[in-house]
Amino acid sequence: MMEGLFLKADMNSKKILSSLHRSAQAWMHILAACCLLSWAGAAGAQQKISFPSVEYANKFEMAKKVGKPIEIFGYLTLPPDPPAGKIPVVVIAHGSAGVQTKDTGFWAPYFNKLGFATFVVDSFTPRGVESTVDDQSLVSNAADTADAFFALKFLAADPRFDAERVGIIGFSRGGTAANETAVKSFRDNVLRENKTLQFAFHIPAYPGCQNSRFRKNGSFDKTGAPMLFLMGSKDDYTPAKFCLDQIKGMQEEYPGVIDYRVYDGAHHSFDGNQGVHYLRLGTSTRNCPMTETDIASWGRSLVGSGDKLSPADERKLYKDCQTVGVTVGSYDNRYREQAARDVEDFLRKIGQIR
């Protein structure tokens, strides 16, 4: 009797083992299929890549000095259906809140569908900072621009990419970088032996324009690459009016090259869709006057009056006029979708979508 029980148990054990073996084989086939799907979809996967950049304490150093080496990183995504030949790329520069879901989850896939690779540069995390919303001094105001230049250099050296079709879009602080990477003097000093490189186009979205007006021998000193500014009429963080004044002057110097859109009713970060929020401690220079910098002498003056500002005058000016409390975001996708349509129209107009 006991012998029969042992025999029955042994047979049941073999059945269980056989069943487990078949299940394991089935899971192996499923995992293999998943791996194949993952490999097939690798073009749409984000890859974190480190690359060298340099550190400047301020924009004067970015225009005149040699920077200190620093290693930063970005997130590279390839288009699902890359065009024949070398792939064009869009560098995406984030705002004061650091890399956001809209950067990696909306704008990167958006450009990928248009046939561009994307490289979302993180200028904060490698410097040990999460956000500069409450304190912009946590990261040098030259960092985003320098990192964008070195991203251009890094991508241009990769044989997969078309060095003459690397563009940039940036938001807020990153929008300022998208504007200032068009300044030849900055490019020449930062890239030095690689100064023949330049971005193919610049898309500054709600940038700060109050103190990003740089002149050289009476010129705005731009590379001449096409530019599209995207702004909101209700932006109380980086008001559009300061950019519009600068844009008017640039359009006169570079006819047919500089374009812009101001979205009626849109706040700062209008491409976000998580609601409109008031950031009580968000710092803004919206009450400060606009300044202009002569690149050769690095002299600063007030736009309009032409009054000269010493470094001490400028520090006191910005200390007194800086304010807190800003409004950001949008309740829906309407501004984001309109901006996406305008960007695509712009890229088609300048021949970057073929």
Quick one: tokens of 352? 């970057």
Q: Are 195 and 181 in contact (CB under 8 A)?
A: no
Going by C-beta distance under 8 Å and a sequence separation of 6 or more, which residues neighbour residue 159?
A: 86
> 91-117 pLDDT, tens per residue?
999 999 999 999 999 999 999 999 999
Q: What is the pLDDT of residue 354?
A: 84
- Tokens 């909306």 belong to residue: 106
Do 181 and 148 touch, CB atoms closer than 8 A?
yes
Task: Pull the structure tokens for residue 233.
Answer: 């009429």
What was the pLDDT predicted at 7?
32
Could you give the angle at the alpha carbon of 15 between the alpha carbons of 9 and 19, nearest 5°? 145
Cα–Cα distance, 332 to 347 (Å, whole number):
25
The predicted model scores a pTM of 0.87
Six-digit token string for 226: 């096409």
Residue 11: per-residue pLDDT: 39
CA distance 47 to 320: 44
Residue 219: beta bridge partners? 216
Residue 351's pLDDT is: 97
The one-character DSSP state at 273 is: -
3-state secondary structure of 196: coil
Q: What pLDDT score does 311 carry?
A: 87
Residue type at 274 in one-letter notation = Q
Are 75 and 46 spatial neighbours (Cβ–Cβ below 8 Å)? yes
Please report the pLDDT score of residue 43 as a whole number: 57
Cα 129 to Cα 143: distance, rounded to the nearest angstrom = 12
Nearest-angstrom CA–CA distance, 93 and 25 = 46
Residue from 43, 125, 36 nearest 77 by CA: 43
- Per-residue pLDDT tens digits of the chain, which is 354 residues long: 333 433 333 434 444 334 434 444 443 333 333 333 333 335 578 999 999 999 999 999 999 999 999 999 999 999 998 888 999 999 999 999 999 999 999 999 999 999 999 999 999 999 999 999 999 999 999 999 999 999 999 999 999 999 999 999 999 999 999 999 999 999 999 999 999 999 999 999 999 999 999 999 999 999 999 999 999 999 999 999 999 999 999 999 999 999 999 999 999 999 998 999 999 999 999 999 999 999 999 999 999 999 999 989 988 988 899 999 999 999 999 999 999 999 999 999 999 998
- Under a CB-based contact definition with an 8 Å cutoff, are residues 209 and 238 in contact? yes
Does domain 43-272+332-349 fall under CATH 3.40.50.1820? My reply is yes
- Structure confidence at residue 320 (pLDDT): 93
